[in-house]
């Protein structure tokens, strides 16, 4: 049974019991004794009755002497038709009256009932606070309304997404002067969809548009439309658009649109899901409003691939604006915005920080500045230094340091050789991101050590040779363990998983296998905006078992040949591996400068000339 229904049932049971008890108390409080008519006649014969009031059915009166229980008032059911003769014969003053039980009913029934109903409505309103303000307001929109410039955000607060800002500039111009903007017959897109990974600033951009245009801004999340009651979502959509029309020109912003606009017909409910009804109402509203009135709908999602096609057709969300992860220049701009709020040391350089943070979103960079500030505060510094930013980046990328996690000497030695294997292979191969730091201090959940590489530039394409070099760096740790200890450990589990994914992608998606040719054998089912273009999600197979066997053979061949190449690199640098590993065991951490001093030019000068694997 629904908890709300169970509460209502028990409440009304308690209310009925309470009303009966109140009625009993009220009746007792009135101090009226109910006596039989025969007893009334006896009192009458004995002259104990002072006065009575006679109605059609009852006789109420007052006795000259109290009853044994102390009461003097009585009531009895009228039986004798010639009552007046008897009363007159005994000298009793009497009168007739119309029976009126209003006061008694008011005290015993109506007032308690009104009290219990009032308490019930009060509790329902309190319990319904999460349902949009109570039971009677459940269909009202829950959108937060920011009037005019109250968003507190302008385009000056948004950095690193210049293309998206340029796309939205004309929205601002249209909202400021709809008539001038449409004088040539053009119209503003009804809906603008902001598409991008989480944390790239989609919500901030929408608020900036409202702040620049100085119009009311209705903000709501897609999940807030749907409740447990059928029809509530559609009612809230209608109410939201009605409110916005009354305040036009205005902006309606629906965040996380995928929670509301998921493609219909793919669920187990066969098209009768409440979310689908809400989506249908949204589609109707998008068709119904005139964009020339100054009403603009902005949506945001990081999963555009699951949105319903009807939502994205022309005339609805007919413009999509990509808000992607910022490049290096964009990261510098974002950092300059956030660094204004921090007290910085003279060595802090936004360009150096941006070079260390490829792939970071605007939210990540804001969090980075905050983490660095907290680290400087923790050590009671007067300003935030570049070292604080380096430590904050390591904390965000590799996890929190676990200095209390003590490894035995044998494990520390294995981890040291493993990490130096990664570093030396990376320093020996051309086109590989340079090594920034190597450490054997445990971090995060399971990392016993880590090697951080710093990209010199943003990369969007990779050749087969570069992918093989990336795999070689990942296999460097296992190769070093095999060369030094002649055994393998579980420390390379994550490295092997990533190497296998890269090799399989080379064979099945990128057509980099001569044996299979230039064909794509698998469809990548990863999210459209996945942060890693190499590592996909579940893949859809559309080839025969014979081809699958060839794929497995090719993947293994590529991994084995890359591993042999990695062994050759480290065998030639065996003395360098021993020297740097012992140094790492002593200091626990080696930065870029120390690595260059230890390695010098030996790595590049003695790099083996091994042909790329194909």
Whether 382 is in a domain gets the answer: yes
CATH number at residue 179: 3.40.50.300
DSSP bridge partners of 73: 32, 62
What was the pLDDT predicted at 593?
83
Give 478's Cβ-side CA count (13 Å radius). Answer: 23
pTM above 0.75, yes or no: no
Sign of CA dihedral 535, 538, 544, 550: positive
Boundary-marking domain end, from 367, 398, 429? 398
- Considering the domain architecture, whether residues 458 and 563 belong to the same structural domain is answered as yes
Boundary-marking domain end, from 103, 135, 164? 103
3-state secondary structure 215-282: CCEEEEEHHHHCCCCCCHHHHHHHHHHHHHHHCCCEEEEEECHHHCCECCCCCCCCCCCHHHHHHHHH
> How many beta carbons lie within 10 A of that of residue 143, not counting itself?
21
Q: For residue 117, give every residue at least 6 positions away whose Cβ sits within 8 Å of its Cβ, in sequence order, or none.
A: none
What was the pLDDT predicted at 137?
47
Let me know: does 404 contact 441? Beta carbons within 8 Å: no
- Considering the domain architecture, whether residues 77 and 191 belong to the same structural domain is answered as no
What was the pLDDT predicted at 597?
83
What was the pLDDT predicted at 374?
92
Active-site residue numbers? 419
Percent of the chain with pLDDT over 90: 12
- Considering the domain architecture, whether residues 453 and 586 belong to the same structural domain is answered as yes
- Considering the domain architecture, whether residues 316 and 333 belong to the same structural domain is answered as no
What was the pLDDT predicted at 63?
83
Q: Is 599 left (phi over 0), alpha (psi -120 to 50) or beta?
A: alpha
- pLDDT tens digits for range 434-493: 888 888 888 765 677 878 877 766 677 888 898 999 999 999 999 999 999 988 888 888
Let me know: does 194 contact 244? Beta carbons within 8 Å: no
- pLDDT tens digits for range 336-355: 888 888 888 888 888 888 88
Nearest to 535 by CA among 479, 490, 471: 471
Q: Higher pLDDT residue, 324 or 457?
A: 324
451 three-state secondary structure: strand
- Considering the domain architecture, whether residues 527 and 549 belong to the same structural domain is answered as yes
- Considering the domain architecture, whether residues 317 and 359 belong to the same structural domain is answered as no
- Considering the domain architecture, whether residues 153 and 285 belong to the same structural domain is answered as yes
Q: Where in 28-173 does DSSP place strands (E)?
A: 32-34, 49-54, 58-63, 73-77, 93-96, 144-146
pLDDT for 554 beyond 80 = yes
What was the pLDDT predicted at 467?
92
What was the pLDDT predicted at 553?
92
pLDDT for 534 beyond 50 = no
Phi/psi of residue 361, each to 5°? -90, 175
pLDDT for 533 beyond 50 = no
- pLDDT tens digits for range 152-163: 778 887 888 888
3-state secondary structure 34-69: ECCHHHHHHHHHCCCEEEEEECCCEEEEEECCCCCC
Mean of the per-residue pLDDT values of the chain: 77
Supply the range of the domain harboring residue 575: 409-605
What was the pLDDT predicted at 425?
92
Q: Which residue has the tokens 């057709």?
A: 313
Q: For residue 67, give every residue at least 6 positions away whose Cβ sits within 8 Å of its Cβ, in sequence order, or none.
A: 33, 74
What's the structural domain count of the chain? 4
Running DSSP on this structure, what letter comes out for residue 433?
P
Which pLDDT band, with edges at 50, 70 and 90, does 68 fall under?
Answer: confident
Instruction: Identify the weakest region by mean pLDDT among 254-258, 420-424, 492-496.
Output: 254-258
CATH number at residue 360: 1.10.8.60
- pLDDT tens digits for range 106-156: 556 676 777 777 777 776 665 544 444 444 444 455 555 555 445 677 888
Which pLDDT band, with edges at 50, 70 and 90, does 501 fall under?
Answer: very high
Boundary-marking domain end, from 280, 302, 322? 322
């Amino acid at each position: 049974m629904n908890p709300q229904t169970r509460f209502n049932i028990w409440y009304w049971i308690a209310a009925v019991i309470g009303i009966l008890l109140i009625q009993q108390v009220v009746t007792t409080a009135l101090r009226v004794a109910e006596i039989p008519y025969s007893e009334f006649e006896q009192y009458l014969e004995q002259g104990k009755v002072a006065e009575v009031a006679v109605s059609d059915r009852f006789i109420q009166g007052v006795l000259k002497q109290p009853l044994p229980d102390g009461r003097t008032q009585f009531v009895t059911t009228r039986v004798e038709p010639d009552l007046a003769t008897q009363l007159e014969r005994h000298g009793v003053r009497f009168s007739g009256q119309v029976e009126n039980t209003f006061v008694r009913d008011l005290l015993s029934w109506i007032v308690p009932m009104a009290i219990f109903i009032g308490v019930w409505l009060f509790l329902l309103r309190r319990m319904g606070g999460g349902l949009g303000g109570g039971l009677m307001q459940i269909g009202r929109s829950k959108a937060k309304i920011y009037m005019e410039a109250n968003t507190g955000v302008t385009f000056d607060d948004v950095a690193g997404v210049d293309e998206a800002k340029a796309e939205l500039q004309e929205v601002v111009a249209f909202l400021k002067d709809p008539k001038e903007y449409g004088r040539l017959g053009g119209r503003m897109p009804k809906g603008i969809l902001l598409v991008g990974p989480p944390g790239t600033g989609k919500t901030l951009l929408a608020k900036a548009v409202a702040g620049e245009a100085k119009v009311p801004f209705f903000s709501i999340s897609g999940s807030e439309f749907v409740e447990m009651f059928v029809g509530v979502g559609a009612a809230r959509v209608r109410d939201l658009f009605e409110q916005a029309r009354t305040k036009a020109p205005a902006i309606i912003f629906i965040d996380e649109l995928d929670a509301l606009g998921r493609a219909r017909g793919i669920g187990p409910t066969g098209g009768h899901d409440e979310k689908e009804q809400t989506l249908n109402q949204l589609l109707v509203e998008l068709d119904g409003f005139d964009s020339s009135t100054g009403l603009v709908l902005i949506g945001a999602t990081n999963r555009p691939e699951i949105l319903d096609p009807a939502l994205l057709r022309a005339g609805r969300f007919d413009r999509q604006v990509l808000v992607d992860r910022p490049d290096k220049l964009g990261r510098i701009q974002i950092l300059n915005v956030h660094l204004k709020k921090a007290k910085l040391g003279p060595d802090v350089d936004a360009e150096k920080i941006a070079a260390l943070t490829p792939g970071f979103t605007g939210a990540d960079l804001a969090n980075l500045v905050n983490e660095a500030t907290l680290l400087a505060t923790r050590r009671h510094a007067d300003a935030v230094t570049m070292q604080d930013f380096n430590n904050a980046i390591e904390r965000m990328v590799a996890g929190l340091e676990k200095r209390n996690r003590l490894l035995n000497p044998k494990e520390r030695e294995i981890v040291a050789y493993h990490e130096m294997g990664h570093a030396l292979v990376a320093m020996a191969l051309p086109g590989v991101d340079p090594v920034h730091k190597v450490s054997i201090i445990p971090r995060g959940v399971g990392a016993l050590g880590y090697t951080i590489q710093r990209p010199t530039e943003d990369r969007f394409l990779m050749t087969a040779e570069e992918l093989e070099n990336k795999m070689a760096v990942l296999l460097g740790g296992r190769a070093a363990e095999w060369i030094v200890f002649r055994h393998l450990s579980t420390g390379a589990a994550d490295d092997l998983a990533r190497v296998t994914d890269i090799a399989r992608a080379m064979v099945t998606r990128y057509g980099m296998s001569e044996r299979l040719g230039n064909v794509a054998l698998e469809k990548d089912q990863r999210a459209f905006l996945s942060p890693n273009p190499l590592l996909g999600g579940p893949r859809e197979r559309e080839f025969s078992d014979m081809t699958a066997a060839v794929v497995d053979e090719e993947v293994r061949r590529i991994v084995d040949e890359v591993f042999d190449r990695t062994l050759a690199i480290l065998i030639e640098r065996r003395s360098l591996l021993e020297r740097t590993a012992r140094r790492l065991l002593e200091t626990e951490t080696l930065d870029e400068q120390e690595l260059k001093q230890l390695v010098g030019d030996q790595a590049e000068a003695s790099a083996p000339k091994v042909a790329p694997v194909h």
